[in-house]
Amino acid sequence: MRVIEELKKVSLPDNVEIVDGGTRGADLLDVISDRQKIIVVDAIDGGYAPGTVVCFNLNDLEKTDGFHINSLHNINIPETIAMAHLLGVAPKDVVVVGIQLKSIECGTELSNEVCSSIPAAVQIIQQRF
């Protein structure tokens, strides 16, 4: 959510749409259908140092044996993309930008590490257009 807030403040191409997918998972199928590119941003638990920003495409995730990044919001992007492929409406390019969390405790405040990594995540996203 905080990355989306910051993205709304920066210059992006006119054809870019910012959507808060929340925790909708497969319900995002309508949002991603027939898109050229989607960039998914989420808090992750991949065993990195807190605040680490990782960026990969969906093919990277599918090819990696034994490596798994847990989304806090349970958005199963690979399964949603697979459904889109079956329907013939899959996006051409899928990029995932994840920020390693510090803690999974309930709360609304971000850790200092995660908060300080938001500008880097925004910059990575801007470079992908």
Specify the range with the lowest mean pLDDT, choosing from 2-11, 40-49, 66-75: 66-75
β-sheet bridge partners, residue 55: 97
Give the C-alpha separation, 72 to 82, whole Å. 20
Encoded tokens for 24: 């909708």
Residue 15: other Cβ atoms inside 10 A: 8
Residue 4 has a pLDDT of: 92
Quick one: pLDDT band at residue 64, thresholds 50, 70, 90? low
Q: Is 106 helix (H, G, I), strand (E, B) or coil?
A: coil
Element (H, E) at 61: helix 58-63
Looking at the chain, the whole-number percentage of residues with pLDDT higher than 90 is 42
Average pLDDT value for the chain: 83
Domain boundaries, the chain: 2-127
Stretch 43-71: mean pLDDT: 74
Stretch 10-17: mean pLDDT: 90
CATH topology of domain 2-127: Rossmann fold (3.40.50)
Quick one: pLDDT band at residue 5, thresholds 50, 70, 90? very high
